[in-house]
Amino acid sequence: MDAPKKATDALKTWVAEVAARTRPDHIHWCDGSDAENRRLTDAMVADGTLTRLNERKHPGSFLHRSDPGDVARLEDRTFICCEDEDDAGPLNNWKSPQAMKAVLDPLFEGCMEGRTLYVVPYVMGPPGGDAAKVGVEITDSPYVAANMRIMTRMGRVALEELSRKGHFTKGLHSTGDLSKENRYIAHFPGEDLIMSFSSNYGGNALLGKKCHALRLASVQARNEGWLAEHMLIVGVTNPQGQTTYIAGAFPSACGKTNLAMLVPPQADRAKGWTVETVGDDIAWLRFGEDGRLRAVNPEYGFFGVAPGTSEDTNPNALASCRANTLFTNVALRPDSTVWWEGLSPAPPECVDWLGNRWTPKSDHKAAHPNSRFTAPAGQCPSISDRWQDPEGVPIDAIVFGGRRSRVMPLIFEAFDWKHGTYLGATMSSEKTAAAEGAVGELRFDPMAMRPFCGYHTADYWQHWLDVGEKGGEKMPKVYHVNWFRRAKDGSFLWPGYGDNMRVLEWICDRVQGEGDAIETPLGYRPTREELHMDDLGVNAEDAEALFAVNREDWLAECNERDAWFDLFGDRLPAELRKQNDALRQRLG
């Protein structure tokens, strides 16, 4: 039997098996068409799942309010189900495939009675390219199906790609009863399978996103010699017409989308600087024929954090979500337009994310801190002409960035790839509302992949080192940034947003073999003149504080990193401990 027919038959067999177990009233194969989307959204408006927004101001757009207990990723309910617990590593929750299925199979039994089973074929990555991966999500949520149409290349295009690839990732999802005690997001790397039950929130239910494109893809990347990363991709073109492509890893809600869609200040635009968006969240990096790492954005849409997004912070994101967008857990104004904190002055009255009357005097926020917009990437004004290039774009620099109010400088460059891997492995950030836990609590988030790596983190770091060995001198330069350092009075030392362009310009200069730098124990940092800080009105004291390397703080940081590395036992690459010891020596 030829591969395409075998794959198609396997898909039909799997759908039939799932339908026999879940017993839906109807089965619908999604084709991704406009007509289908209208039918889905009309039905959800009719049953109250969606609220239709002002057609003049937000054409083709809707508001969804999720269950109040289902508003974020649940890391404690997310599992890697490989055969050997050691292979999952200390940062992942583990159950054996057999034990997890013993829990999940009874939950899925008959769970779709009275519901429709949606078969959602999708492609991650530009179709036709080596990087493209086919997945099929079976779900009983029309909200998930509508989101997947925006976030992936969904429908007929996926079935066509399946006929070329001959393989697909399986994703089985049900909203269940939305109870937390029955909530599981389980990954089975050995079977290329995802099973998600009792959630309707983005990362838990849109299985093509974090589940497929990161957790399972990271395992495939290790096996096949590439990288699946939680990274934006941006192209920065200088006045000479040279484009530098940068990939950047930031934990959720730490400014990643703002950087991916950055609008250069007018003075920079006048000089000829431009910024274009290739991707805002996930990057798949493979070696091209020229030996350089090339990156594709596997997604087709943006799943952006709404609060804080405004004309000042990210006008391109606002333009992206003005039409054909699904908003989740934002506030609704009387004229059927959306609002969230940071968008504009608060309206006199609106309906909050829970569906209740809200005024500026209310004792809670109108929009949930992790409220979202799902918008087509093609609507972004800064979208690159190459964002759907099957070959990807050549990556010149990789940037790591967490949210640190102290200790970590604004920007510095790694000495080499091994040092850069160490920077990624020890990246730490203050928690945000995108993950459960105490907001502001500091934790290590290596390469911003802590919640998303599908196997042992120490093996993941070794894979990074191995990739660097393979790429040699053609590997990208590596940087670490921190937009969030604060002064003693609590104010931010760096203005951020559009002025982050100054940092990107220095990175571009360094990639082109230019740009002055000062060597520090941490790496190479730009001079005050390189960032044109006099133009910003940053005084000399604050400028010095932005780059301060306090010896005592950093020796304590080295000790914390040693304790962090201790978690990984004898699987920790010796190179990383060596890098930490070398930092101590430089500080001394």
- Asked if residue 498 belongs to a known ligand binding site, the reply is yes
- Asked if residue 253 belongs to a known ligand binding site, the reply is yes
Is residue 321 part of the annotated active site? The answer reads: no
- Asked if residue 202 belongs to a known ligand binding site, the reply is yes
CA distances from 230 to 12, 31, 193, 223, 286 (A): 32, 28, 20, 18, 15
Read out DSSP for 6-60? HHHHHHHHHHHHHHHHH--SEEEE----HHHHHHHHHHHHHHTSEEE--TTTSTT
Q: How many CB atoms lie within 10 A of CB 239?
A: 11
The Cα–Cα gap between 315 and 293 comes to 30
- Asked if residue 199 belongs to a known ligand binding site, the reply is no
- Asked if residue 336 belongs to a known ligand binding site, the reply is no
- Asked if residue 209 belongs to a known ligand binding site, the reply is no
- Asked if residue 23 belongs to a known ligand binding site, the reply is no
- Asked if residue 497 belongs to a known ligand binding site, the reply is yes
For residue 65, which phi and psi values (nearest 5 degrees)?
Answer: -110, 120
The Cα–Cα gap between 326 and 45 comes to 12
- Asked if residue 454 belongs to a known ligand binding site, the reply is no
Of 111, 254, 380, 508, the active-site residue reads 254
Q: How many CB atoms lie within 10 A of CB 45?
A: 13
3-state SS, residue 121: strand
- Asked if residue 133 belongs to a known ligand binding site, the reply is no
- Within 95-232, residue ranges assigned H as helices are 97-108, 142-151, 156-165, 202-205, 217-224
- Asked if residue 310 belongs to a known ligand binding site, the reply is no
The Cα–Cα gap between 354 and 408 comes to 38
- Asked if residue 370 belongs to a known ligand binding site, the reply is yes
* Maximum distance among all Cα pairs of the chain, rounded to whole angstroms: 72
- Asked if residue 372 belongs to a known ligand binding site, the reply is yes
- Asked if residue 60 belongs to a known ligand binding site, the reply is no
- Asked if residue 201 belongs to a known ligand binding site, the reply is yes
- Asked if residue 371 belongs to a known ligand binding site, the reply is yes
Could you report how far apart the first and last alpha carbons of the chain are, in Å? 67
Please write down the HEC assignment for all residues of 213-254. HHHHHHHHHHHHCCEEECEEEEEEECCCCCEEEEEEECCCCC
Residues of the binding site for GTP: 253-258, 372, 403, 497-500
Residue list for the binding site for substrate: 73, 201-203, 252, 370-372
Catalytic residue annotation? 254
Binding residues: 73, 201-203, 210, 230, 252-258, 281, 370-372, 403, 497-500
Cite the annotated binding site for Mn(2+) by residue number. 210, 230, 281
